[in-house]
């Protein structure tokens, strides 16, 4: 329930949970055997391994396991009641050997697992080659690919190998291997690819510049790409300064240093170098050392003003207005005003709108490189305004965005709203009203926050789609026999969540709607709710709303909600976004369980509710539900029953919500769009959208109204209202 930072470059789950604490070896081994049996893996894996695995031992170990029962235990996992496989413990030992980088032990374990035709032996094979990738040859990789063709780990290893080839500067090997990389979702590989294409004589400037400017973390491959193309004069000093500006805005010091070093290493090479000084003490640098008489000096002034704005936008704006605007080139001054305005927007400062307007009003500014993120904040700030000109500013900001950004449902919706507001009365405004209707229609079929709002703007309520034709026996069988899905479920059942999620996500790439529905149903049947939802959401033409919005633990959820007088649809909407119904989910900041409670919050809520609570109970389903619903009730009571504000407080904390609600009344959709934190902004919209679907499903309705859940405009606490509960953690 607190802000979560994504981890793991290849995990595409909507929330990054850490792997639960290791299970004791014997228990883990027994669970592995039973999970493999319950997922129906053994006969399939034996058949595959017989055809694919190398002969690494004189004997093979036969596996016999009992058929699973369909019942589920209280933890929401498949019933585990089969005897242990004699090699299960070896897989767990292999994982530990990989973590400890004990290659000698891992080789022994891998060979034993392969000889025994273990269904998850592919993972031991992958872990082993990963430990020696720095000394591996293409022949080693080709042998692995031949053993496990078409698997997720073939593609994952190819990704790893491409990074290794790039670090070796083996461009011929890279060029031969890269076209076979199926997912092609690694930014550093993309950077290496631009080097290869450049060496082949292609013009890669546009693609390379986009990759570089959008890079968020230091990556050796992208730094090498920038250096290579800068030296070849395919990237310019202007590009390097643009990269430095964006990095300074985001506080990415290493990336700013890399960019400035391309221009002049002396600007960054020691503690007293200009970049280091302006980064640490921007106001002092501006007052004592800055000068804008040269291009280099002017760019350093811009960086210092941006750095100052991250902590003190008002002082940065004052210095720009009083001294530096006249000294900077018009385009640089306009860009700096917008950068200061964006920092002010994040802090919800009322001056942000005026500063964006200052950026637009700089005389002779003609070629300002506005980013889509800056333009988005320009639009959000205008939405918060109350003057008559705000809708013109909203439309202007959206019209200046890239085609890709303008296609985002948020900006489709708000442009349509702007056109509606700007339309003249009568026939003169008919063209704009028609244009608005076209935009609303474009997203009205989306099963999302803005899709439902667009539908209601057209005067109708979004209907629930017809349920797809039931899956046939053949479709279900194909999903049950899919080797990648089977391996993924086995890993997930053992708590190896990152591995299982990645294999599952790879396995569903390229599936048809019917195949996705079957795969999702397999996950639902096993009560692996996050993969059920993730997979069902990938369908386009055939939408199973009940599958996308499952209701596990229904009796417990309804009882907890009824006890405290909360709409169960709101509880389900929140849980779906918090944990995807994973009982032992644990976020990177320590939130745990179904409703993602922080330990301190759980203890505080338990005291308020008069419950005897022990820390180890935090992932117990019924206790976590009771505490989570209890906390939600306390938050709702503190915000006059507003679900949008309660969701924001649940995710980011009540103290932040108090700052975000201050000010004149705003319609809920505009307020939600202006939440400073990207995660919380997305979270609030999804909780509200989720709750509307759950409300329809629980109530047996055929339509999904959203506005009725948004409530009244968001504003400061009214005079005479109940004092805020400042004890809320």
Q: What is the pLDDT of residues 181-197, one digit of tens each?
A: 999 999 999 999 999 99
Q: What is the pLDDT of residue 58?
A: 26
Asked if residue 271 has pLDDT above 90, the reply is no
Q: What is the pLDDT of residue 369?
A: 87
- DSSP letters of 599-620? HHHHHHHHHHHT----GGGTT-
Question: What token pair was written down for 442?
Answer: 């474009």
Confidence class for position 596, pLDDT limits 50, 70, 90? very high
CA–CA separation, 602 and 435 (whole Å): 50
Confidence class for position 720, pLDDT limits 50, 70, 90? confident
CA–CA separation, 275 and 260 (whole Å): 8
Between 1.10.3720.10, 1.25.40.10, 1.10.530.10, 1.20.120.160, what CATH number should domain 554-710 receive? 1.10.530.10
Q: When comparing pLDDT for 367 and 239, which is higher?
A: 239
Asked if residue 19 has pLDDT above 80, the reply is no
Cα–chain center distance at 547: 22
Q: What is the pLDDT of residue 186?
A: 97
pTM listed for this prediction: 0.88
DSSP for residue 715: -
pLDDT tens-digit series, residues 92-116: 899 999 999 999 999 999 999 999 9
Asked if residue 345 has pLDDT above 70, the reply is yes
CA–CA separation, 729 and 486 (whole Å): 42
Beta-bridge partners for 72: 78
Question: What token pair was written down for 720?
Answer: 């005479």
First to last CA, the chain: 11
Contact by Cβ (8 Å): 633, 565: yes
Contact by Cβ (8 Å): 117, 46: yes
Contact by Cβ (8 Å): 196, 178: yes
Domain residue ranges in the chain: 25-175, 554-710
Question: What token pair was written down for 710?
Answer: 């948004």
Cα 121 to Cα 85, 113, 285: the distances in Å are 13, 5, 59
Count Cβ neighbours within 10 Å for each residue of 43-80 and write b for 16 or more, e otherwise.
Answer: ebbbebbeebbeeeeeeeeebebeebeeeeeeebbbeb
Neighbours of 635 (CB within 10 A): 22
């Amino acid at each position: 329930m607190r802000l979560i930072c994504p981890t793991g470059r290849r995990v595409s789950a909507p929330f990054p949970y850490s792997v639960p604490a290791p299970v004791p070896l014997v228990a883990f081994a027994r669970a592995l055997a039973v999970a493999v049996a319950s997922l129906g893996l053994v006969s399939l894996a034996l058949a595959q391994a017989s055809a694919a695995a190398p002969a690494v031992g004189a004997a093979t170990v036969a596996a016999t396991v009992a058929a699973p029962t369909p019942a589920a235990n209280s933890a929401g996992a498949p019933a585990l009641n089969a005897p242990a496989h004699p090699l299960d413990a070896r897989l767990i030992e292999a994982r530990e050997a990989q973590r400890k980088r004990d290659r000698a032990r891992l080789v022994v374990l891998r060979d034993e697992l392969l000889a025994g035709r273990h269904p998850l032996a592919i993972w031991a094979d992958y872990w082993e080659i990963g430990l020696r990738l720095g000394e591996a040859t293409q022949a080693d990789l080709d042998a692995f690919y031949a053993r496990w063709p078409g698997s997720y780990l073939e593609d994952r290893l190819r990704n790893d190998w491409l990074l290794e080839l790039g670090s070796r500067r083996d461009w011929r090997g890279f060029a031969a291997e890269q076209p076979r990389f199926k997912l092609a979702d690694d930014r550093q590989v993309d950077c290496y690819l631009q080097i290869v294409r450049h060496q082949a004589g292609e013009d890669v400037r546009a693609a390379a510049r986009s990759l570089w400017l959008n890079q968020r973390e230091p990556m050796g491959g992208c730094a090498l790409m920038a250096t290579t193309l800068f030296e070849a004069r395919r990237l310019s000093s202007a590009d390097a300064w643009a990269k430095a500006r964006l990095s300074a805005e985001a506080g990415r010091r290493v990336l700013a240093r890399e960019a400035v070093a391309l221009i002049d290493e002396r600007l960054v090479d020691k503690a007293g170098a200009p970049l280091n000084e302006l980064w640490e003490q921007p106001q002092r640098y501006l007052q004592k050392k800055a000068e804008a008489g040269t291009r280099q000096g002017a760019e350093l002034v811009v960086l210092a003003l941006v750095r100052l704005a991250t902590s003190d936008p008002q002082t940065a704006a004052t210095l720009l207005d009083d001294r530096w605007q006249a000294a900077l080139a018009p385009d640089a001054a306009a860009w700096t005003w917008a950068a200061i305005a964006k920092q002010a927007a994040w802090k919800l400062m009322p001056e942000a709108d005026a500063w964006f307007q200052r950026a637009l009003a700089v005389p002779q500014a003609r070629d300002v490189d506005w980013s889509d993120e800056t333009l988005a904040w320009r639009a959000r700030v205008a939405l918060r305004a109350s003057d008559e000109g705000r809708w013109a500013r909203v439309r202007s900001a959206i019209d200046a965005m890239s085609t890709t950004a303008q296609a985002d449902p948020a900006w489709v919706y708000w442009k349509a709203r702007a056109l509606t507001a700007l339309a003249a009365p009568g026939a003169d405004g008919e063209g704009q009203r028609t244009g608005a209707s076209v935009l609303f229609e474009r997203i009205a079929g989306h099963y999302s926050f803005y899709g439902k709002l667009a539908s209601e703007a057209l005067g109708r309520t979004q209907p629930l789609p017809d349920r797809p034709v039931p899956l046939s026996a053949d479709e279900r069988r194909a999903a049950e026999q899919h080797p990648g899905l089977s391996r993924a479920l086995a890993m997930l059942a053992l708590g190896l969540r990152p591995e299982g999620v990645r294999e599952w996500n790879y396995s569903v790439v390229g599936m048809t709607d019917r195949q996705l529905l079957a795969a999702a149903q397999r996950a639902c049947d096993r009560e692996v709710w996050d993969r059920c939802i993730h997979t069902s959401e990938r369908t386009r033409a055939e939408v199973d709303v009940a599958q996308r919005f499952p209701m596990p633990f229904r009796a417990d959820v309804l009882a907890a909600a009824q006890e405290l007088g909360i709409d169960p649809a709101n509880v389900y909407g929140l849980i779906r976004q918090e944990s995807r119904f994973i009982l032992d989910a644990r976020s990177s900041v320590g939130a745990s369980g179904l409703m993602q409670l922080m330990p301190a919050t759980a203890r505080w809520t338990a005291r308020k509710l008069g419950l005897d609570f022990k820390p180890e109970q935090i992932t117990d389903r019924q206790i976590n539900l009771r505490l989570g619903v209890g906390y939600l009730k306390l938050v709702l009571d503190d915000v006059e029953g507003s679900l949008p504000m309660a969701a924001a407080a649940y995710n980011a904390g009540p103290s932040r919500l108090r700052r975000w609600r201050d000010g004149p009344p705003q319609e809920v959709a505009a307020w939600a769009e202006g939440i400073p934190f990207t995660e919380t902004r997305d979270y609030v919209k999804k909780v509200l959208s989720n709750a509307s679907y759950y409300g329809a499903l629980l109530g047996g309705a055929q339509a999904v109204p959203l506005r009725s859940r948004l409530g009244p405009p968001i504003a400061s606490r009214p005079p005479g209202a109940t004092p805020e509960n400042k004890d809320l953690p």
